[in-house]
């Protein structure tokens, strides 16, 4: 198949159920249920070749062959960790790749998915920021990440499922790629897709206030907000987006989100950096903010805090807080009746911990081949160890 042919074919991974139905009825002149059959082949059995879709007649298979394709991300490298964590480097196009990680835990399996190649927000402690922003991922490229993991895990919906949760916490700011992210999350939750419960799909944002409100109208997923500081001066330093949407406005939007989805909480992520945002006074200030949030939503534990010990990466000026500091910080919050968890570091031996996922981004400052080589060396080093 040449490039021109590829370009005009509809990648079925770009379509949610509604889009698939429309494609089958309006474009192919077929019955609606055919769309459902094909979705099951794609997402339940991880089949991409129309010839293998045996309950589809030959004529329709021919029509599909001519006008559509199921194009999934290319696995460039993959690396299991000793603790069951699994990392992939996925090619998105000839020039761009992203990392993805699967983290199994007691009774659950969480996949960390990216929404953009690079990121434009420039959070000071995030390794993605150092790569700059290249482009948004398409729906196919977002749901395609879940597809790759689903195939690897032999995931079968409605039976014993290994992939139980998806967090939009990889590269990028999901609310800056709103339409594609929302559509991909719809496929994750659709029974014809991955059938995940709403609360098991989490969107994590640095705080794009208007888009949080839009999400509240249109979606029902869990919301996580990257707070990282209890006051505006410090937060603006760490998360420059705070200048545009300061903490009070952000918390108001979170409150509206929580109130719309009665009975569900919002998770506030707080990456702990030594001497920067990990002092007892920060914990006390954070506790006050969180209690005020619970009161505003009129629900106990409306705010959940997720403490993430900072994961260093080459060239960063920040350091991870000491373990005792992390524990003391948590204790202060717990004493103030704020539900607080500390995220365990997983996949540390394969650089798969939170905030460490990298990509391969073409920009003017870095030759992509050098970068690809570096990732290969890094992965091989772990292989040898």
Among the listed residues 112, 123, 126, 354, the single catalytic one is: 354
- Least Å distance between CB 240 and ligand SAH? 12
278 binds ligand SAH, rule: CB under 6 A: no
Residue 360 phi/psi, 5-degree rounding, is -125, 105
Give the binding range for ligand SAH (CB under 6 A) out of 145-153, 283-291, 306-314, 358-366.
306-314
206 binds ligand SAH, rule: CB under 6 A: yes
First vs last Cα of the chain: how many Å apart? 41
Give the binding range for ligand SAH (CB under 6 A) out of 64-72, 85-93, 119-127, 182-190.
119-127
- Least Å distance between CB 347 and ligand SAH? 13
Give the binding range for ligand SAH (CB under 6 A) out of 29-37, 67-75, 203-211, 282-290.
203-211
Cα angle 111, 73, 182; round to 5:
55
Among the listed residues 21, 30, 69, 99, the single catalytic one is: 99
Q: Concatenate the DSSP letters of all residues of 109-133 into one string.
A: EEEE--SEEE-SS--TT-TGGGG-E
- Least Å distance between CB 19 and ligand SAH? 26
Residue that is written with structure tokens 């981004």 in the block: 361
- Local structure of residue 273 (DSSP, 8 states): B
Question: Known catalytic residue: 252?
Answer: no
- Least Å distance between CB 2 and ligand SAH? 37
Cα(352)–Cα(337) distance, integer angstroms: 32
205 binds ligand SAH, rule: CB under 6 A: yes
Nearer to ligand SAH, 71 or 200 (CB): 200
Cα(139)–Cα(174) distance, integer angstroms: 12
Closest by CA to 42, choosing from 16, 18, 66, is: 16
Nearer to ligand SAH, 261 or 358 (CB): 358
Give the binding range for ligand SAH (CB under 6 A) out of 26-34, 84-92, 125-133, 215-223.
125-133
- Least Å distance between CB 104 and ligand SAH? 19
The CA–CA distances, whole Å, from 113 to 166, 258, 268, 353, 357 equal 7, 23, 18, 13, 10
Give the binding range for ligand SAH (CB under 6 A) out of 15-23, 154-162, 202-210, 361-369.
202-210
Cα-Cα-Cα-Cα torsion 229, 121, 98, 228, nearest 10 degrees, comes to 0
- Local structure of residue 55 (DSSP, 8 states): T
Residue that is written with structure tokens 């030959």 in the block: 58
Closest by CA to 181, choosing from 305, 173, 331, is: 173
Nearer to ligand SAH, 71 or 207 (CB): 207
Binds ligand SAH (CB under 6 A): choice among 113, 355, 359, 362 = 355
Nearer to ligand SAH, 44 or 358 (CB): 358
The CA–CA distances, whole Å, from 119 to 98, 123, 162, 276, 311 equal 12, 9, 29, 23, 18
Question: Known catalytic residue: 126?
Answer: no
Give me the 216-245 binding string for ligand SAH, x by CB under 6 A, dash otherwise. Answer: ----------x-------------------
**Could you give the residue numbers annotated as active site?**
99, 354
Which stretches of the chain bind ligand SAH, using CB under 6 A? 123, 125-127, 169, 173, 204-206, 226, 269, 271, 308, 310-311, 354-355
């Amino acid at each position: 198949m040449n490039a021109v042919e590829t370009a005009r074919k509809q990648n079925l991974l770009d379509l949610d159920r509604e889009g698939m139905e429309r494609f089958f009825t309006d474009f192919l002149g077929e019955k609606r249920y055919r769309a459902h059959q094909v979705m099951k082949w794609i997402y339940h059995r991880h089949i991409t070749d129309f010839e293998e879709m045996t309950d589809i007649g030959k004529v329709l298979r021919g029509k599909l062959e001519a006008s559509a394709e199921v194009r999934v991300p290319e696995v460039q490298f993959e690396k299991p960790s000793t603790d069951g964590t699994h990392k992939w480097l996925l090619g998105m196009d000839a020039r761009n790749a992203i990392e993805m990680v699967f983290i199994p835990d007691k009774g659950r399996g969480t996949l960390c998915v990216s929404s953009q190649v690079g990121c434009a927000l420039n959070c000071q402690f995030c390794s993605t920021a150092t790569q700059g922003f290249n482009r948004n991922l398409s729906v196919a490229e977002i749901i395609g990440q879940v597809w790759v993991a689903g195939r690897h895990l032999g995931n079968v919906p409605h039976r014993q499922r290994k992939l139980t949760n998806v967090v939009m916490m990889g590269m990028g700011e999901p609310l800056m790629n709103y339409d594609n992210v929302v559509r991909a999350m719809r496929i994750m939750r659709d029974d014809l897709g991955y059938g995940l419960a709403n609360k098991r799909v989490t969107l994590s944002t640095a705080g794009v206030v208007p888009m949080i409100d839009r999400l509240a109208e249109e979606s029902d997923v869990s919301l996580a907000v990257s707070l990282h500081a209890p006051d505006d001066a410090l937060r603006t330093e760490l998360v420059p987006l705070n200048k545009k949407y300061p903490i009070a406005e952000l918390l108001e939007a979170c409150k509206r989100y929580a109130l719309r989805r009665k009975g569900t909480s919002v998770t506030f992520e707080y990456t702990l950096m030594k001497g920067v945002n990990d002092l007892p006074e920060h914990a006390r200030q954070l506790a006050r903010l969180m209690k005020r949030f619970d009161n505003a939503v009129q629900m106990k534990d409306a705010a959940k805090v997720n403490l993430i010990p900072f994961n260093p990466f080459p060239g960063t000026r920040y350091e991870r807080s000491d373990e005792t500091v992390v524990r003391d910080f948590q204790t202060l919050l717990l004493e103030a009746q704020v539900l607080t968890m500390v995220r365990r570091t997983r996949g540390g031996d394969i650089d798969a911990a939170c905030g460490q996922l990298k990509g391969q981004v073409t920009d003017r400052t870095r030759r992509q081949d050098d970068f690809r080589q570096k990732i290969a060396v890094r992965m091989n080093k772990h292989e040898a160890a």
